[in-house]
Structure 1
Amino acid sequence: MNTPRATRRLTLALAAAVVLSFTGAACSSDNGNSGGGGSENKKITIGIKFDQPGIGLKTPSGAYTGFDVDVATYVAKQLGYSPKDIEWKEAKSADRETLLQRGDVDYIVASYSITPKRQEKVDFAGPYLLAHQDVLLRANDNSITKPSDLNNKKLCSVTGSTSAQNVKTKIAPKAQLQEYGGYSECLTGLENGVVDALTTDDSILAGYAAQPQFKGKFKLAGFKLSNENYGIGVQKGDTELKDKINKALEKMVADGSWQAAVNKNFGPAGYKNEPAPKIGVVVT
């Protein structure tokens, strides 16, 4: 028969064993978002555009499509995340730096042009696409045939974008800038005659012009006003993640997945893309 003292020692030993077992279980179920773990609960949050057909679009069914989505998904896979591990977050042009600085997203793939000003706040992997700034016009508008014709015209772009400012300062100083919250709003304004032109990257404009509901309504001017080097934004100083993303992008080009994504998303619009850029080489 156990003495009271022995019984107490046995109870304490059992209690200690239970505590240790719970501690071990907690350690083994860590949710860490390091790319290679096997946790069922790991997630990665990626910022993309929700309103850019061909680039980043959230469809009425809740699916996500576009070139940036394909690039982001491929990179995530190389980091150890399956599509079901991805949480998509809208990254509007004016919000991208803030999202990264606050840690709301792990990285951003959202037609994000690499510029010195932005590099002061965030770091970029890539570039992964070289686009060019262009202008979208109504199909029947023959009043704008050269960049300088944008003077005294109502020119639309989105808040936070570099495109409209580029036109205003370098090409058509008398252009009347109209800044909206998203490209869809600019497109509606262009369709209704509220604005005369929409300016942003040719890849984005081609995506819009190729949509079935806009067939025959718009045309690209073909001006090639600037070089836009799309990069993947990461938090400033996160060199480890930046390097991993760069390796993933190199692999995407090497195995043909990059060109397949270009053909899939831009092919229907007849968009003539530049070759895949070299990592770390920004064309000015």
Structure 2
Amino acid sequence: MSKAGSAAKVKLSSYDDLFGNAEEKTGSEEQIIRAKLTDLHEFRNHPFRVLDDEKMEETTESISKYGVLVPGIARPRAEGGYEIIAGHRRKRGSERAGKEDMPVIVRNYTDDEATIIMVDSNIQREDILPSEKAKAYAMKYEAMKHQGRKGNGNTLDEVGEAVGESGKTVQRYIWLARLSDELLELVDRKKIGLVQGVDISFLSEDAQQWVLVILEESGANISTVQSAKLKEYGKSGELTLPMVRLILTEEKPKERKVTIKSEKISQFFSEEYSSEEIEGIILQLLEEWQKKQ
């Protein structure tokens, strides 16, 4: 798929599309208030981290000068106060700026509606970690199923629509969400690759703990061959701690690298072909050659 084709799939929602026009609703249906920061509570199982990083410094500086320009979104809590749906970073920035309150739009969203809006209002950030995306997609997928949509490929496509990701990609992240928090952290730190993480997500909680222990002991990385073995033995119920240790500590085959000079390639491919396209064609031709042997 071309870059233009991928970009065309991204559906960016405007403020009014996502939250509606605040001026059109009144009464018990919606309120725009200045809520005390102490009355604003984090969304239950909020998957996105709010860090005091460089971007938070910029947010804090902006709020100090101009205040919160775009109201947050919240809903009333049975226990009192409000649950933040969108605006966790704005709340933290307001706290750091010494503010006591911030503007929020209060609506009576259902759990599923609130979850979908919470995910969609955060998922388009550029600095999202794999663990955040995995948990967010899993939450949105479950919310959409609760709304009466069947768990099929179309629903998965809808889950990733906000950022132009396919249903297959969404499914992989949902599988990734089954990893323990400790293993997810290793994925975030790139100690475990996404493909390997998905394979390990099919293991039981005990088996995942075995993997974590062996990785911490050995400091080794997991290859795709090793993760595939773990998944295979895990599905058959044959996986044990000694077997996990054996698989993860076995000597990995040396990686072979083959470089073909560009002048040799250029006689077969015009400049219109990208490196990825050239690689794909070469691999396809090699597969056809192998079948003829």
Q: Taking structure 2 as the reference length, what is the TM-score of the superposition?
A: 0.22
Higher relative contact order (CA 8 A, sep 6+): 1
More helix by share: 2
Q: Taking structure 1 as the reference length, what is the TM-score of the superposition?
A: 0.22
